Structure 1
Amino acid sequence: MKKASRVFYITFALVILTVLFGVFAPEIFEKVTGNIRAFIGTNFGWYYLTLMALLLILVFVIVVSPYGKIRLGKDSDRPEFSTLSWISMLFSAGMGIGLVFYGASEPLSHFAIQPATAEAGTDAAFKEGLERTYYHWGIHVWAMYGLIALSLAFFQFRKGEPALISSTLKPIFGKKMEGPLGTLVDVLAVFATVFGVATSLGFGAVQINGGLTYLFGVPDEPWFQLLIIAIVTILFVISAWSGLNKGIKYLSNTNMVLAVILLILVLVLGPTLLILNLFTETFGHYLQNLISLSFQSAPLDAENRSWLNDWTIFYWAWWISWAPFVSMFIARVSKGRTIREFLIGVVLVPTLFGSFWFAAFGSTAINTQKSGIDLTGFPTEQTLFAMFSEMPLGFIMSLFAILLVSTFFITSADSATFVLGMQSTNGSLLPSNQIKVLWGIAQSLVAAILLSVGGLTAVQNTIIAAALPFSVVMILMVIALFKALDAEVKLAKPKK
């Protein structure tokens, strides 16, 4: 523990206090955090919409500008990981479990339960459901992750700064970032990471349990979910101990292979032509309506405004709360790439793959719903398995899905322990195994304890509340990044 920083001890204490609050006063905890979430959604929706849109615009500006030629590292550095392994790790750290958990259920919900503007159950709701799902999981999200990760990677590898959120703010605040102000920024980042990942682990355990219940009739009970968390914790601690170049890399590649196999099975065994035609049209509409979607706040439409608060504003806050973890991990595995290559890879590849994933799974689920089989009667964690049961090889695909959630579960937790170790050891790029294992066990305990008292909703609310102050940190990071990039270009010698 000699290498642990004060960020480690402060955040650990805050995590314990928050968990104790959730355990001993769960109803008060959920009510308080729910009120904070509602306040943020009502009063800061315009802010989140504007922020996410501006971040996307800035990514485009950087890609086409002279900044794009700058390398994340020395000019002689080259990528540490192959492009395929790099992309695989982006998904493992980013949205892996979410793609499986919501792949069928979110488009189905937009179609049959709560459409944005169309009438439920109509063809218009079918198309709109897919387009809104692309929007929530697409280019805005990855542009935000890409820009924050770029800031971290630039200062780490080009400027030799510690791998800390606070280090990226030195162009603005200077040495103050090495004192209490910097500690505050890093504590906020670690706190958001712990609870963000804990919530993801909780969802993963619930879906694995839901699949096993649907297929084999195992108990759908909190104690069984705790058993799942315990087993997976042992596996990802082993992976974390083996290091970045072994455990995370190999498991991430495995994730992508499993995900592609499952996607191909759904495409081939599902309504193939419908999926391909719908993806072509709805993705085109999504791109065509990108500007209007980005700034849609429905100020005079109370019903649509409520939908935006429940979905879009929630998602924007949710993804921002994940930014410290996901962006720091993306930065860590991206040394040696040019800024242009980095941003194009981070933003476009996951957006295209994720959108096609939702087109395949969402179209299949909605087509099944339209055939007269009510999938909305199942819990969210069982929607996917209920859909598979109506398809050829459904049992095999369900087993694949459970395996995929499990491997995503392991790599998400594994990469999170790596990032938490970096952030709580003064930015070390190779945190000690002791610190990583301690954080791994801690985040699993948080997930297990809060699952057992039904506190996952309150945890979601908590990190959404944490996203608001961190969004201000993000703005400062972007300002500092542009200041540093401008200085870098001015210092570069003109080419002859």
Structure 2
Amino acid sequence: MQLIISAGCILLIVLWGIFSPSSLSMVFETALASITKNFGWLYLWTVLGLVVFAFFLAFSRYGDLKLGNEDDEPEFSMGSWFSMLFAAGMGIGLVFWGVAEPISHYMTAPPGVLPGSPEAANAGMRYAFFHWGLHPWAVYGVVALAIAFFQYRREGKALISESISSLPWAPIRRMSGLFNVLAVIATAFGVAASLGMGALQINSGLHTVFGLAVSNSSQVCIILVTTSLFVTSAVTGVTKGIKILSSLNMIVALVLALFIFIIGPTVAIIDTLTNTLGSYLSEFIRMSLRMTPFRESQWVGGWTIFYWAWWISWSPFVGVFIARVSRGRTIREFIIGTVIAPSLAAFIWFSVFGGTALYMEIWQHVPIAAAVKLDASTALFTMFNAMPFGLIMSIVATLLVLVFFVTSGDSATLVLGIMSTGGNPDPSAKVKTIWGILVAGIAISLLLAGGLKAVQTATIVFALPFTMVILLMVIALWRAIREDWNEQQRQERELRRRLKQMTAQEPAKPL
């Protein structure tokens, strides 16, 4: 039933976008304006709360609890585990925005900062760290932890509703099916947002390398071809297709970043990382709660609130997927691996790509800002064209986006299949194929309805109801962790008492 309801709702929106893209765009834009104005604060407070909650769990006494039985061992090595969760969570976005976002903030700076100034460059890097650092990974980490905790310690299913159904409030428990449907819809649109951006950047890369025209028809063809690839990969399963592709792409991404670090402005990159990390930490709370109640500005809504909505819409997908590959890890290890480590990786990535782009824009007058203003998806290739071995790097980056596209798509089809079939950990190839086609249809319809802006708008709209679901999951997780911790402490006390009794009852050995 959940499969029929969620897939039916999504199909209606896809058809709407294909046959009447202008009306779909108008409705989403109206909804976006209302949500940004009236609920932007909710996104900010919720995501900051998740950061605090994640760090509290990691470094408190509860961090020793294991996701599973005490003798369970992780299924995947640390390297494979990190590669899969990183590829599923942020792969396409980092490649797309690594250059484009710092340059965008440099040109159109946050309120109170003069565009095109050194302060704007510093703010651009700081907000790139902010938008791709601890906050998004805390959203992923907490949702994934809730799913994994109830799945492996309470022997539940890999569903959003499993944690919420443990709450003592009957009206909430009766809505568990609705929560699963919301999770499926939020996931489908969140994944489509990234796939849409991936199609735009692959199109730009193919234009740079082979001269392929940048157009809607080209992007639709790219989505169709890559959809066939990630559906094929998803059918092969986690231990084969997803694991192999994720590990391969992490190696390619590391090699590309290291190459740019070496041939680019190395000292400037190190200085950028050092300076930006310091300002990010010092401005952490102010950025986390920044709104503009006394000035007309769409900057916070267009960037921070969009990103928080994007991460929230992705959280059920990434959460279920991370939970699927995380059995046997402690809460502390889990939070460090899903929040702190990937945040550090994102900081390094933006320092290398964003720092290089800003250096070339400011000191070498490479027209990267003009490229971003014209089409953000071309920013990376404009930077490569001004560097040695630019064509080779453009080819590698295009392949990188393509494989990230496939890993995100096949992970999404697996998770959507799991959530829409009552938590079945191995949904059929037919179900995966249906979801692959629907996700591709969403990306195509949103691109036709208004390109990247339509994709962003839909993400914010569909993330709002799931924000309330996440808050309920946090309450349920906190209650369950305390219960299990108290029970574990009781069992340990009982074991010590019995050992003490056994020692006392042993007869004294003769001299």
TM-score w.r.t. the length of structure 2 is 0.92
3-state SS of paired residue (1:328)? helix
Which position in structure 2 is the counterpart of 1:298? 292
Shift of 1:459: 4.0
Which position in structure 1 is the counterpart of 2:384? 388
Give 1:373's match in structure 2, choosing from 356, 366, 382: 366
Give 1:37's match in structure 2, choosing from 32, 35, 51: 32
Instruction: Call closer, same or farther: CA 1:294–1:172 in 2, change over 3 Å.
Output: same
3-state SS of paired residue (2:328)? coil
Shift of 1:494: 2.9
Which position in structure 1 is the counterpart of 2:72? 77
Which position in structure 2 is the counterpart of 1:494? 492
Aligned partners of 2:451 and 2:387: how far apart in 1?
Answer: 35
| Aligned residue runs from structure 1 range 312-323, under 5 A | 312-323=304-315
Give 1:457's match in structure 2, choosing from 453, 459, 465: 453
| Aligned residue runs from structure 1 range 164-183, under 5 A | 164-173=159-168, 181-183=175-177
Aligned partners of 1:449 and 1:61: how far apart in 2?
Answer: 41
What is the number of residues matched between the two proteins? 488
Shift of 1:234: 2.0
Residue 82 of structure 2 corresponds to residue 90 of structure 1: no
The one-letter amino acid paired with 2:316 is P
Shift of 1:242: 1.0
- Contact (CA 8 Å) 1:110, 1:116: kept in 2 or not? no
Give 1:438's match in structure 2, choosing from 430, 434, 437: 434
The one-letter amino acid paired with 1:313 is I
Give 2:356's match in structure 1, choosing from 351, 364, 388: 364
Instruction: Call closer, same or farther: CA 1:452–1:289 in 2, change over 3 Å.
Output: closer
Shift of 1:206: 1.2
Aligned partners of 2:279 and 2:66: how far apart in 1?
Answer: 35
| Aligned residue runs from structure 1 range 412-427, under 5 A | 412-427=408-423
Residue 108 of structure 2 corresponds to residue 113 of structure 1: yes
Shift of 1:64: 2.0
Which position in structure 2 is the counterpart of 1:337? 329
The one-letter amino acid paired with 1:339 is I
Aligned partners of 1:174 and 1:39: how far apart in 2?
Answer: 30
Give 1:280's match in structure 2, choosing from 271, 274, 284: 274
Q: Residue deviations 1:354-411, cap 9 Å, x none?
A: 0111111111111121122221222111110010010111111111100100000000
| Aligned residue runs from structure 1 range 152-231, under 5 A | 152-173=147-168, 181-231=175-225
The one-letter amino acid paired with 2:365 is G
Shift of 1:227: 2.0
- Contact (CA 8 Å) 2:74, 2:327: kept in 1 or not? yes
Q: Residue deviations 1:305-358, cap 9 Å, x none?
A: x32122111211121111111111111111110011000110111100101111
Q: Percent of pairs identical after alignment?
A: 45
- Contact (CA 8 Å) 1:72, 1:336: kept in 2 or not? yes
Residue 241 of structure 2 corresponds to residue 243 of structure 1: no
- Contact (CA 8 Å) 1:208, 1:405: kept in 2 or not? yes
Aligned partners of 1:307 and 1:196: how far apart in 2?
Answer: 21
Aligned partners of 1:72 and 1:491: how far apart in 2?
Answer: 15
Q: Answer with 379-388 or 443-452: which moved more.
A: 443-452
Q: Residue deviations 1:166-206, cap 9 Å, x none?
A: 11102215777775x22211111111111221221121111
Aligned partners of 2:40 and 2:236: how far apart in 1?
Answer: 42
Aligned partners of 1:385 and 1:136: how far apart in 2?
Answer: 22
Instruction: Call closer, same or farther: CA 1:8–1:247 in 2, change over 3 Å.
Output: same
Q: Residue deviations 1:48-94, cap 9 Å, x none?
A: 11111111111111112221111111111111110001110111111
Residue 259 of structure 2 corresponds to residue 265 of structure 1: yes
Shift of 1:458: 3.0
Which position in structure 2 is the counterpart of 1:3? none
Shift of 1:118: 2.1
Which position in structure 2 is the counterpart of 1:126? 121
- Contact (CA 8 Å) 1:30, 1:457: kept in 2 or not? no
3-state SS of paired residue (2:426)? coil
Root-mean-square deviation over aligned CA pairs: 1.6
The one-letter amino acid paired with 1:35 is T
Q: Residue deviations 1:241-284, cap 9 Å, x none?
A: 11110000000001100110110111111110000011011111
Instruction: Call closer, same or farther: CA 1:450–1:111 in 2, change over 3 Å.
Output: closer
Stretches of 4+ aligned residues off by more than 4 angstroms: 173-179
Which position in structure 1 is the counterpart of 2:504? none
Shift of 1:222: 1.8
The one-letter amino acid paired with 1:293 is M
Shift of 1:462: 2.5
Q: Residue deviations 1:86-115, cap 9 Å, x none?
A: 110111111100000010010011112334
Listed as ranges, the gaps of 5+ residues in structure 2 are 497-511
3-state SS of paired residue (1:95)? helix
Aligned partners of 1:275 and 1:429: how far apart in 2?
Answer: 43
Listed as ranges, the gaps of 5+ residues in structure 1 are 1-5
The one-letter amino acid paired with 2:463 is A
Aligned partners of 1:146 and 1:486: how far apart in 2?
Answer: 18
Aligned partners of 1:123 and 1:376: how far apart in 2?
Answer: 14
Shift of 1:417: 0.5
Which position in structure 2 is the counterpart of 1:255? 249
The one-letter amino acid paired with 2:439 is Q
Instruction: Call closer, same or farther: CA 1:456–1:9 in 2, change over 3 Å.
Output: farther
3-state SS of paired residue (1:267)? helix
Q: Answer with 31-40 or 99-108: which moved more.
A: 31-40
Specify the structure having the higher radius of gyration (Cα).
Answer: 2
3-state SS of paired residue (1:103)? helix
3-state SS of paired residue (2:166)? helix
Shift of 1:472: 0.6
